[in-house]
């Protein structure tokens, strides 16, 4: 909301005063505060804002009020999504102390003659100066947004964005597909603030992009969190069949705490959504490693038991039809990280290789393996695309459920 209750109350109080008394009060307000007031101003206050002879007046009426309001609304979103939130109310991101410092100017500040961070025509107060200020505002906002999303849209587009396009609205698809074609980023000025033309986004398009990208981040987090919640439910049903991938134990211990793993998985799910809602966009998001396996894998002992029973004709003959069907599905539909040819599909990280040797789930039979497929850790910003950041899919989770159910039946038959 552009105007808080405080500004609405101020606007109502000013509306009760004659226009002649507005000048001194408005001159003591920051430029951004004037814009906020304009969004809830009545006829008298609107007239005073648009006809002020103060130093800020020419800049304010150089653009339509709605233009300033849209730009400030985008600025509020940028401050919330692209910067670490300040600990004190009077702290502001560095960019608002430099190229966007005019948002905090009062009337006396506008009377100064030189602002090194502004274009020359604004400093010299040429006939185009006031209009150039709004363009500088828009250019800086473009620059910040493009810098924060550059890694995801240029270096990791095929991995982070493209796989999700079918799930997005047509509007999001159209605006996202435009980003990777915008050209080379200026390493000194972060791209676009100092370009004289062809800004990446107009005001409306920039507002749409920010909204769509935040919706995309939330969609991705909620979808992947839903997968984790389902995995937690699977574990609670079969706690002695499945484990977390880096658990080196080959079987469930007798004193297994069955609540620890699902509690941790659900905590991670909540954290995913919370971070998508509340944390800033990171320009290094593409460096996150995506593993080839899900958050749960079978215990080695369960794989060995499955192998023993699946080759026993007697067991197969007495098994219920649904168990036989699920046994066939476990063999036929094994995910790629658990197949015989897994070694050819993945690359082991050197520093983890010794640990991962203990993670091979079986040395014969179906030869389930748990291997890592890293995102080229040596050159994280220039590496080719590795695993797309997507949920595992229903088929893979169903495979885990089938495996757990089948091995539970097999163990029950063994104890009879």
φ, ψ of residue 301 in degrees (nearest 5): -65, -35
The answer on pLDDT for 21 being more than 80 is yes
How many whole angstroms from its chain centre is CA 326? Answer: 37
Region class of 191: left (phi > 0), else alpha (psi between -120 and 50), else beta = left
The answer on pLDDT for 72 being more than 90 is yes
Within a domain: 261: no
Spell out where 292-343 has E strands.
297-298
pLDDT reported for residue 96 = 77
The pLDDT confidence band at residue 291, using thresholds 50, 70 and 90, is: low
pLDDT reported for residue 101 = 86
CA distances from 310 to 250, 316, 328, 358, 413 (A): 20, 7, 9, 24, 13
The answer on pLDDT for 131 being more than 80 is no
Within a domain: 107: yes
The answer on pLDDT for 398 being more than 60 is yes
- For the entire predicted model, the pTM comes to 0.79
The pLDDT confidence band at residue 294, using thresholds 50, 70 and 90, is: confident
The pLDDT confidence band at residue 162, using thresholds 50, 70 and 90, is: confident
pLDDT reported for residue 70 = 96
pLDDT reported for residue 318 = 76
- Number of domains composing the chain: 1
Q: Could you tell me what percent of the chain has a pLDDT over 70?
A: 74
- Taking a C-beta distance cutoff of 8 angstroms, is the pair 80, 64 a contact? no
The answer on pLDDT for 202 being more than 50 is yes
Within a domain: 390: no
The answer on pLDDT for 43 being more than 90 is yes
Within a domain: 97: yes
pLDDT reported for residue 246 = 79
Q: Give the CA radius of gyration of the chain.
A: 30
In sequence order, what are the residues at sequence separation of 6 or more whose Cβ sits closer than 8 angstroms to the Cβ of residue 195? 139
- For residue range 218-247, what is the model confidence (pLDDT) as tens digits? 999 999 999 999 999 999 999 999 998 878
Q: What is the 3-state secondary structure (H, E, C) of 91-136?
A: CCCHHHHCCCHHHHCCHHHHCCCCCCCCCHHHHCCCCCHHHHHHHH
Within a domain: 253: no
The answer on pLDDT for 369 being more than 50 is no
Q: Which two tokens stand for residue 281?
A: 């966009």
The pLDDT confidence band at residue 191, using thresholds 50, 70 and 90, is: very low
Q: Decide: residue 166, CB within 10 A, 0-12 exposed, 13-18 middle, 19+ buried.
A: exposed
The pLDDT confidence band at residue 143, using thresholds 50, 70 and 90, is: confident
Which pairs count as long-range contacts for 247-253, CB under 8 Å and 24+ apart, including other chains?
248/355, 248/358, 248/359, 249/299, 250/299, 250/300, 250/301, 251/299, 251/300, 251/301, 251/302, 252/299
Q: First-to-last CA distance in the chain?
A: 67
Q: Could you tell me what percent of the chain has a pLDDT over 90?
A: 36
- For residue range 244-288, what is the model confidence (pLDDT) as tens digits? 887 888 889 989 899 999 999 999 999 999 999 988 887 666 444
Q: What is the mean pLDDT of residues 291-307?
A: 83
Q: What is the mean pLDDT of residues 147-170?
A: 84
The pLDDT confidence band at residue 188, using thresholds 50, 70 and 90, is: very low
Q: What is the dihedral of CA 149, 153, 156, 162, to 10 degrees?
A: 130
- Taking a C-beta distance cutoff of 8 angstroms, is the pair 331, 366 a contact? yes
Q: Which two tokens stand for residue 241?
A: 């069949």
Within a domain: 150: no
pLDDT reported for residue 368 = 44
Spell out where 238-343 has E strands.
242-243, 297-298
pLDDT reported for residue 311 = 75
The pLDDT confidence band at residue 128, using thresholds 50, 70 and 90, is: very low
The answer on pLDDT for 355 being more than 60 is no
The answer on pLDDT for 184 being more than 90 is no
Give which of 412, 416, 406 is closest to 306, Cα–Cα.
406
pLDDT reported for residue 334 = 81
Q: Give the mean pLDDT of the chain.
A: 78
Within a domain: 68: yes
The answer on pLDDT for 46 being more than 80 is yes
User: Which residue is associated with the tokens 């990446």?
Assistant: 200
The pLDDT confidence band at residue 186, using thresholds 50, 70 and 90, is: very low
pLDDT reported for residue 98 = 78
- Taking a C-beta distance cutoff of 8 angstroms, is the pair 101, 33 a contact? no
Within a domain: 267: no
- Domain extent, residue 107, equals 1-116
């Amino acid at each position: 909301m552009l105007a808080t209750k405080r500004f609405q109350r101020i606007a109502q109080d000013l509306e009760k005063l004659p226009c002649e008394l507005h000048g001194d009060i408005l001159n003591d307000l920051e430029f951004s505060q004037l814009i906020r007031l304009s969004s809830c101003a009545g006829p008298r206050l609107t007239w005073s804002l648009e006809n002020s002879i103060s130093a800020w007046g020419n800049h304010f009426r150089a653009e339509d009020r709605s233009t300033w309001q849209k730009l400030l609304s985008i600025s509020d979103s940028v401050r919330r999504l692209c910067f670490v939130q300040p600990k004190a109310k009077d702290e502001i991101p560095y960019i608002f102390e430099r190229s966007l410092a005019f948002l905090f100017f009062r009337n006396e500040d506008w009377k100064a003659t030189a602002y090194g961070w502004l274009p020359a025509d604004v400093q010299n107060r040429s006939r185009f100066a006031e209009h150039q200020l709004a363009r500088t505002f828009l250019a800086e906002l473009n620059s910040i947004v493009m810098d924060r999303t550059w890694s995801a849209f240029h270096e990791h587009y095929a991995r982070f964005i493209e796989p999700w396009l079918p799930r997005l609205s047509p509007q999001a698809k159209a605006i996202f597909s435009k980003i990777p074609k915008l050209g080379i980023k200026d390493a000194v000025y972060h791209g676009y603030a100092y370009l004289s033309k062809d800004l990446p986004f107009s005001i409306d398009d920039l507002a749409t992009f920010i909204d769509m990208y935040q919706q995309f981040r939330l969609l991705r987090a909620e979808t992947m969190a839903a997968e984790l919640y389902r995995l937690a439910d699977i574990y609670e049903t079969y706690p002695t069949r499945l484990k977390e991938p880096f658990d080196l134990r080959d079987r469930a211990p007798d004193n297994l705490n069955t609540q620890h793993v699902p509690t941790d998985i659900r905590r991670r799910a909540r954290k995913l959504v919370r971070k998508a809602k509340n944390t800033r966009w990171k320009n290094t998001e593409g460096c996150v490693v995506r593993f080839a396996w899900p958050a749960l894998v079978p215990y080695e002992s369960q794989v060995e038991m499955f192998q023993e029973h699946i080759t026993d004709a007697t067991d197969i003959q007495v098994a219920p039809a649904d168990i036989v069907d699920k046994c066939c599905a476990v063999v036929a539909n094994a995910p790629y990280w658990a197949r015989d040819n897994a070694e050819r599909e993945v690359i082991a990280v050197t520093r983890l290789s010794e640990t991962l040797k203990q993670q091979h789930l079986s040395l014969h039979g179906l030869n389930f393996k748990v291997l890592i497929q890293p995102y080229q850790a040596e050159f994280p910003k220039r590496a080719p695309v590795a695993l797309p950041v997507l949920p595992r899919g229903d088929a893979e989770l169903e495979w885990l459920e089938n495996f757990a159910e089948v091995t539970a039946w097999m163990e029950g038959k063994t104890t009879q």
